[in-house]
Structure 1
């Protein structure tokens, strides 16, 4: 008789070691509709091996409206069962999930049974298997320990011996599950268990894997971040952003910090339930004393100590109102870039925690722009993938950029910052391309490969094509997506054991999944967003026994969307990326043990593409949209290094550009109608202090366009916003005002005088009435707004307010010499910054001169707020710039800022370092002032009139802007 689909092998007995129980349990979970488990002891290490399959089974049955019937029984016998495991069991989220505890009292409890049923109805049962033996739920017992377990398979007809025995086992389970000594598992029971528990410390039990008391400790990057977070709170910050590269432990960091702050109520917000379940498991392990639960579409455990909520549910006003504004004293917002700003802002504006932590793995400030604003411009700590590799938290990678020669991306429609999916399918699913991919994969792959595809159809096609090629090569591939027959956890188990060699996936593995055994990543889809690219790269960077490095095989095509790969890859030796001019603005060094190998055709294409890129504000907007994966807001555009003054010249205002790019007709109409207000009252209004913007932010958060707030309420809200910017509060408020509280009359009077009264006055010499007015003590808009315009207009105002505050803070932190143009900076006792210094670069102040940038040292300069990824030092050589008000002498040390074709901004009138190559391929450099002649031709002019003007040509590339001359 054929075996049940619950069974994966013929042997009825498992013995541990090379014949463990775990694979059979996971396979049975994946195919069961009813699960009944009774074990004496449960440890987190063993439960962690089963939980992903249990969660997936619950979700799978819920999706088909057939709830999984799950019953789990364990005990407090000898106090061996761990509270961490009990917290995870208590949070199993299902309609027919029951977890009970056998209170041993004077009884011993040694049961170890696992029962699975598939396809059962009221009168019949199609398949069933029962495992009875010695295996408790611990990693040791389910894997390598010597444990015997015998399996009994149900067989029809009902009166045969196997069927009768199977029914007898289920009846005995039902009896013990409802025994008088059993009680439902609850938070209260776990709390009491923790208080009275005296865990055994017998060496024998430890060797058997029953006792797990290993402390959870932060890694090196987390330890540094925890110190920085503690110091940030001491300085008065109530919000902060931490950037940790994929795989470096963002969730664990948030758990460590919540405990470090001794938070009473914790809220963790994410956009996917899988991330929430993993976060709950992490927090429960570190803090089993606290209860934990979910708040999403299916479950709303609002009374738990630690709540893990989906942004889609909690972000709605009816759900926010279930909590007081100060209900949580510690809030974590994970992966800001995934959710709409509006949904997140609802949460951020409603709650007033003692501290809010923003988490992201995005690599650059342009990607962080919106997040940083939401965290009050407080970037607490940042470590990218390179740091993780150098500190051996992650493995190094070997990257192979392969030319995608059998796809013409220029023929594929490009809409809204991405390729048309159906057109991609047609071009990707070809045998010619599959053979090209297989050849390079076979050349570079290691043992376990995860491939990212563009669609389900593409994944199925690639798996079929590879399996045809594998027939003689001895390999095997599978496709995994929401409609595939093989489940995700099954495929990962098969890959881990070597039963398959490659998984073709769509989006199931982009994030939130720990895949440490993966040692090869195959990128078969264009990743328009750098965020997705890094998430996919991060799937393979986890440490794993025997794994030395990750191989990344990436297929790069003939489209400007692929240019963002150049910004992500680190500096290359020699001329591979054609010199400094193409190194971009924020490109980190490679981590230890990493290297990048690029097809010559890829390098040639990038070089040609860089020459063609246009410089219009519209093109810059579109480039940044492709880079980010969403339309940029004003702060993101500014932080990416683009010039909003150019935007104003070409489109009249920031939202003039946005209206020209967006497809939302209602948004376009609101922008058109209120363009003058947005421009004059927000984008360009004069600011000597930050108060106007803080007032507007308070006004918007109070829904001021709908309900005009009174002066006291507006002043109090403004006080809380200002308090969240400790540096602004200390530097912008007079000393005698800093001690005032939000409700003090003196504070209300101060805020009324400045900025409220300034905001209700007309601009001198202007016939335009003031944009705001006081009406019976209420601050209100002094222009007509239709009801259906309010929400959109408030979003637009908030976007500009965020930009103005971000730019204001940046400007205030720049030293006066930097804002007044190029000039010598005298070294004084102040904060210093380590910057790269290129001793052999020699920026010529004369004619173009050869230089080298391979040798680099770190040099301390007496200036703060410099970025080692953008700013660097080199010496001047020659006398062509020895003239004018700010002469540059031979041997002067120059502070320069890297620019790229998309971040240079306006260069006319600026002193720029120019790069070109001679016929032999050597890099040549010169420093000159940039001018334009009447015909629009760029001219390179020396400050010393003895040197002739040089006419620029296409071979010359501005690669750095002179910031200052540093004098010893």
Structure 2
């Protein structure tokens, strides 16, 4: 039986199909139960169907989910993989649901696209499903797999319909999808206990990727990124941070390359911590056996290289260590989400960010549970500041990130003393933190008197007075908007210190300096503030509005 939000998403998918949209991309956060949702849909399909994944681990998870739904199905994958999945099904359900003649199928994409397309089954399939469907483009192997089924409607599922290379997943862009079906937000699922709460720690690091460029895929250039990581002390730091923040918790570490993953696992073992490393180079049998040990709780730490950022479901995982910098928001969210499955006794997950991923994305995208405006369109290469941004800073005392508009760390209460109080740039625009001398200097810039040159005629005086009145009018309107902005936050019981900081961070200027702007700049800022208030449903009324 589906949860309420899974049922709601399923209804949205069916509604899009009924509206004539053949290929629908469904969005649900990592850990929200995407596999369970589409398995339920596959179980309702009267004819043949095919669910497609790109890794053996994902094929196995889908097959077990089908078994839980009582769906007999064929598996299109290497023989060893099929045998292992049969064993997994028997362990999970007590029965084997694999049937080579069943109309439903679960397939590995690489095996599927090598099959003989003259097989009549391909034409009989009425529904294809693609897991991790942000991979699907019209001209790649995932798009080719979808095209094998000429009479089928399609369903893609993903937590993040977002590609680091900026390509769009819509048919009108670079993909094959006709509509989005957006499910519940991560914050909703956390609030109702369907996902675990979390804490982030971001210890200091000597990793410097400031000179590492982006590659053609939109992520950091792999060779230069690896070189930057190797120049750091990241390998040793990871073990020490685990011992300090997460000792005894089942943990997944995301490493930047195979050599580093092996070294990290070795250092964990040397410290008496049960750990193994896995990568695409690890033999399949070894990989499956190691994952089985981890699921059984016989390993504390699993270090991996680009294996478990997608679809790895182990509720007992309570900690994720990011030891691989990424510019991909999708990869960041997927890694973050590995620890968010709820489990008995788990009060919250711990995310240890050793590479600055949290701060890197906070400015433009927020945290993984910040609501996003998903789209099937291409993303502009140079996008402007996002309304989803959540500016953070790291507490020097407890190393946890907190919002920049807070004066003190919300986790430990530490008060970071400003380096200077001589200007708004040192105190995030907080006027309560500035020195009296700095306040007096800013106050002196507000409402200057009109300077009329000696000997100026009436025409010049009139012109200068007109410009002064225009500035005053613009300032009157701006100050009204600022007052409404402050009123909105005071209605939420926020202190003036926080309001000053929020204003400075949001608009790039402090409240007092705003009152010294010229007419043009005042009008521009006024319009921005009013537009922001309008988004919150606030329309300024009264004189000067």
CA-CA distance at 1:588 after TM superposition: 9.1
CA-CA distance at 1:256 after TM superposition: 1.1
2:246/2:350 contact within 8 Å kept = yes
Q: Alpha-carbon deviations, 1:337-371, whole Å to 9, x = none?
A: 22553134444455344642121110669979415
2:24/2:177 contact within 8 Å kept = yes
Q: Find the aligned partners of 2:160 and 2:126 in 1 and give their Cα distance.
A: 26
For residue 195 of structure 2, the aligned residue among 394, 398, 402 is 394
Q: Alpha-carbon deviations, 1:554-585, whole Å to 9, x = none?
A: 1235x99934675141799xxxxxxxxx9833
Matched, 1:940 2:533: no
User: What SS does the corresponding residue of 1:545 show, helix, strand or coil?
Assistant: coil
Name structure 1 gaps, 5 residues minimum.
1-216, 573-581, 605-610, 612-842, 858-900, 902-912, 930-938, 943-948
Matched, 1:335 2:132: yes
Q: Which residue of 1 aligns with 2:22?
A: 238
Q: Alpha-carbon deviations, 1:714-760, whole Å to 9, x = none?
A: xxxxxxxxxxxxxxxxxxxxxxxxxxxxxxxxxxxxxxxxxxxxxxx
For residue 510 of structure 1, the aligned residue among 301, 309, 314 is 309
Q: Find the aligned partners of 1:481 and 1:281 in 2 and give their Cα distance.
A: 23
Q: Which has the higher contact order (CA 8 A, sep 6+)?
A: 2
For residue 845 of structure 1, the aligned residue among 477, 498, 503 is 477
Q: Which residue of 1 aligns with 2:209?
A: 409
Matched, 1:294 2:294: no
For residue 257 of structure 2, the aligned residue among 448, 455, 464 is 455
TM-aligned CA distance change 1:855 to 1:522, over 3 Å:
farther
> Superposition pairs for residues 302-313 of structure 1, below 5 Å?
304-313=102-111
User: What SS does the corresponding residue of 1:247 show, helix, strand or coil?
Assistant: coil
Q: Which residue of 2 aligns with 1:917?
A: 510
TM-aligned CA distance change 1:431 to 1:228, over 3 Å:
closer
TM-aligned CA distance change 1:415 to 1:243, over 3 Å:
closer
1:941/1:950 contact within 8 Å kept = yes
CA-CA distance at 1:229 after TM superposition: 3.0
TM-aligned CA distance change 1:585 to 1:353, over 3 Å:
farther
Q: Find the aligned partners of 1:269 and 1:505 in 2 and give their Cα distance.
A: 23
2:59/2:108 contact within 8 Å kept = yes
Q: Find the aligned partners of 1:506 and 1:550 in 2 and give their Cα distance.
A: 21
User: What SS does the corresponding residue of 1:531 show, helix, strand or coil?
Assistant: helix
CA-CA distance at 1:925 after TM superposition: 9.8
For residue 443 of structure 1, the aligned residue among 223, 241, 244 is 244
Q: Find the aligned partners of 1:459 and 1:296 in 2 and give their Cα distance.
A: 27
Deviates more, 1:251-260 or 1:319-328: 319-328
CA-CA distance at 1:536 after TM superposition: 1.3
> Superposition pairs for residues 541-556 of structure 1, below 5 Å?
541-556=340-355
CA-CA distance at 1:467 after TM superposition: 4.2
Matched, 1:528 2:160: no
CA-CA distance at 1:426 after TM superposition: 4.2
Q: Which residue of 2 aligns with 1:269?
A: 52
2:321/2:353 contact within 8 Å kept = yes
The answer to which structure has the higher strand fraction is 1
Q: Find the aligned partners of 1:384 and 1:415 in 2 and give their Cα distance.
A: 30
CA-CA distance at 1:548 after TM superposition: 1.5
What is the aligned length? 417
2:129/2:156 contact within 8 Å kept = yes
Q: Find the aligned partners of 1:285 and 1:372 in 2 and give their Cα distance.
A: 33
> Superposition pairs for residues 694-773 of structure 1, below 5 Å?
none
User: What SS does the corresponding residue of 1:556 show, helix, strand or coil?
Assistant: coil
1:372/1:379 contact within 8 Å kept = no
- TM-score, normalised via structure 2 length: 0.62
Matched, 1:597 2:400: yes
Q: Find the aligned partners of 2:277 and 2:80 in 1 and give their Cα distance.
A: 30
Q: Alpha-carbon deviations, 1:96-150, whole Å to 9, x = none?
A: xxxxxxxxxxxxxxxxxxxxxxxxxxxxxxxxxxxxxxxxxxxxxxxxxxxxxxx
Q: Alpha-carbon deviations, 1:155-194, whole Å to 9, x = none?
A: xxxxxxxxxxxxxxxxxxxxxxxxxxxxxxxxxxxxxxxx
Q: Find the aligned partners of 1:305 and 1:439 in 2 and give their Cα distance.
A: 52
Q: Which residue of 2 aligns with 1:464?
A: 266
2:28/2:159 contact within 8 Å kept = yes
Matched, 1:320 2:120: no
TM-aligned CA distance change 1:480 to 1:280, over 3 Å:
closer
Matched, 1:284 2:85: no
Q: Which residue of 1 aligns with 2:431?
A: none
Q: Which residue of 1 aligns with 2:5?
A: 221
Q: Find the aligned partners of 1:554 and 1:227 in 2 and give their Cα distance.
A: 37
Q: Alpha-carbon deviations, 1:938-960, whole Å to 9, x = none?
A: x4364xxxxxx9899xxx99995
Q: Find the aligned partners of 2:148 and 2:516 in 1 and give their Cα distance.
A: 54
Q: Find the aligned partners of 2:133 and 2:516 in 1 and give their Cα distance.
A: 42
Q: Which residue of 2 aligns with 1:745?
A: none
1:571/1:583 contact within 8 Å kept = no
Deviates more, 1:318-327 or 1:544-553: 318-327
1:399/1:552 contact within 8 Å kept = yes
CA-CA distance at 1:552 after TM superposition: 0.2
2:215/2:222 contact within 8 Å kept = no
TM-aligned CA distance change 1:331 to 1:399, over 3 Å:
same
TM-aligned CA distance change 1:293 to 1:564, over 3 Å:
same
Q: Which residue of 2 aligns with 1:833?
A: none
TM-aligned CA distance change 1:322 to 1:438, over 3 Å:
same
CA-CA distance at 1:412 after TM superposition: 4.1
1:292/1:306 contact within 8 Å kept = yes
> Superposition pairs for residues 354-753 of structure 1, below 5 Å?
355-362=153-160, 369-371=168-170, 377-404=178-205, 406-412=206-212, 414-416=214-216, 417-429=218-230, 432-446=233-247, 447-468=249-270, 470=271, 474-482=272-280, 487-492=286-291, 495=294, 500-557=299-356, 562-563=360-361, 566-569=364-367, 584-586=386-388, 597-598=400-401
User: What SS does the corresponding residue of 2:478 show, helix, strand or coil?
Assistant: coil
> Superposition pairs for residues 879-894 of structure 1, below 5 Å?
none
1:915/1:924 contact within 8 Å kept = no
- TM-score, normalised via structure 1 length: 0.37
TM-aligned CA distance change 1:461 to 1:428, over 3 Å:
farther
Q: Find the aligned partners of 2:78 and 2:362 in 1 and give their Cα distance.
A: 35
TM-aligned CA distance change 1:917 to 1:381, over 3 Å:
same
1:844/1:926 contact within 8 Å kept = no
Q: Alpha-carbon deviations, 1:527-569, whole Å to 9, x = none?
A: 2211111221222111222111110011235x99934675141
User: What SS does the corresponding residue of 1:846 show, helix, strand or coil?
Assistant: helix
User: What SS does the corresponding residue of 2:119 show, helix, strand or coil?
Assistant: coil
1:452/1:507 contact within 8 Å kept = yes
TM-aligned CA distance change 1:845 to 1:596, over 3 Å:
farther
Q: Find the aligned partners of 2:319 and 2:61 in 1 and give their Cα distance.
A: 24
CA-CA distance at 1:480 after TM superposition: 2.9
Name structure 2 gaps, 5 residues minimum.
83-98, 371-383, 393-397, 407-415, 417-424, 426-474, 493-504
User: What SS does the corresponding residue of 2:187 show, helix, strand or coil?
Assistant: helix
Q: Find the aligned partners of 2:42 and 2:113 in 1 and give their Cα distance.
A: 22
